[in-house]
Amino acid sequence: MSSIDAVEQDNTFNIAKVRQDFPILDQKVKGKPLIYLDNAATTQKPQIVIDAISQFYNMNNANVHRGAHTLSDNATELFENARSKVQGFINAKHAHEIVWTRGTTEAINTIASGLAQSFLKPGDEIIISAMEHHANIVPWQVAAKRSGAKLVVAPINEKGELNFSIYKTLLNKNTAVVAMTHVSNTLGTINQVKEIVQFAQQVNAITVIDGAQAIGHGFVDVQDLNCDFYVFSGHKLFGPTGIGVLYGKEVQLEQLPPFQTGGEMIKTVTFQQATWNELPYKFEAGTPNIAGAIGLAAAIDYVNSIDRVGAIAHEQRLTNYCSELANSMDDIHIYGTAENKTAIFSFLMGDAHPSDVGTLLNQQGIAVRTGHHCTMPLMNELGISGTVRASFSMYNTEEEVAMLFAALTKVRTFL
């Protein structure tokens, strides 16, 4: 994933056309035009995604697999085609390496629970970083307690970057798992994931990459990264909520026990025992989020239809412009100044409480997020309780960034 090399190649990205594809952006909040800067929490949905979900329920609603009727066949074809589209989007080797989940959180829990049951043992070590989301901390805490393993935290530097030299010293013969984020949801830091994986493999550690924040901001190639697992949520890729992806190398998924049991994920059942279904259905107990998968496929179609290189370059310009304006205000303190970062601007304004700043921005039609952003340990490391976070996507404009800072100037007069 890179947002640097793409900048000089941008020549066809049409921001006006892209904005027209997202109907929610054409509205007012508190009498002001909506400026949506909460994309790290969830992205908005293009009309093509909304239509795909509606069409499924209007024309093809049925349960998938084993149906003996046309609607079920149609639903199954759409559902499995969606899996294949995800495979192509992240360049997985096989479609059966794509497992549907409810989101990143369930995907990480599936991996952590399975490894605690089948792989981790007393004395093993699980390495995470200090910038992780709770979803990539708590499941590993639970897995460590269940297995007797130890959780080890790799530190970050003052810019919010992984301290790579220390990370390398933490790797040893006891390192069983390395689980790290691709992009920090609070700091915007883009981690050197390929290098993280390479060094972890030198000690035969299993690698798990949280791609929730990365998937909507660049190109992800899991074969190039060579990680064992990569997970993300559909709603951060302009798709619907409640659908997520667990990518795992075939060999890892074959060895991993299922997280949930019940229907669909079984091959045979007697009152004495059960055997598991083949991949990927072994991990997909119960009726899946069929409409969610179809909606995610439509989101991938949409992203593939635009100038993705231009979109990355556009977001980089927004990030640079935001930093420029922030640095011109003496009372703005930025958290996350990594050399390689994506479109997340986390900050405090003087002594103002983040929630007060967020409320006053909302009065001006600007949607941001405030608080600890599900990174409480990171906040403790930074010595603060929370920040204001403005996060951009490809449909945001430089004018909106300027309006954010004009609004912050106005907020200053109330605080």
Domain count of the fold of the chain: 2
CATH number at residue 252: 3.40.640.10
124-171 pLDDT per residue, tens: 999 999 999 999 999 999 999 999 999 999 999 999 999 999 999 999
User: Is position 1 within any domain?
Assistant: no
Does the pLDDT at position 9 exceed 70?
no
pLDDT at residue 42 tops 60 = yes
- Domain final residue pick, 247, 276, 304: 304
Quote the pLDDT of residue 4: 33
- pLDDT higher than 90, residue 212: yes
Q: Could you tell me if residue 2 is inside a domain?
A: no
User: Do 253 and 362 have their domain in common?
Assistant: no
**Where residue 365 sits, what CATH number does that domain have?**
3.90.1150.10
> What's the pLDDT at 67?
82
Name which of 230, 236, 237, 277 is nearest 258 in CA terms.
277
Domain identity same for 63 and 189: yes
Domain that holds residue 328: 7-44+308-412
Same domain, 369 and 221: no
Of 304, 338, 359, the residue that ends a domain is: 304
Q: Does a structural domain hold residue 401? A: yes
Residues 6+ apart with CB under 8 A from 120: 126, 143, 144, 146, 147, 148, 149, 176, 177
Catalytic residues, by residue number, are 374
Longest C-alpha distance within the chain, in Å?
71
Chain segment 57-114, per-residue pLDDT in tens: 999 999 999 889 999 999 999 999 999 999 999 999 999 999 999 999 999 999 999 9
Question: Are both 403 and 341 inside the same structural domain?
Answer: yes
- Tokens describing residue 189: 């830091």
CA distance 188 to 224: 22
Shared-domain flag, residues 97 and 25: no
Q: Are residues 270 and 289 in the same domain?
A: yes
Amino acid 11: pLDDT: 52
Residue 165 included in any domain? yes
Q: What is the overall mean pLDDT for the chain?
A: 96
Q: Which of 304, 327, 359 is the last residue of a domain?
A: 304
Query: Does 1 score more than 90 pLDDT?
Result: no
Same domain, 240 and 372: no
Same domain, 265 and 399: no
pLDDT of residue 66: 84
Clarify whether residues 281 and 324 are in a common domain. Answer: no
> Per the domain annotation, does 88 fall within a domain?
yes
In a domain, 219, yes or no: yes
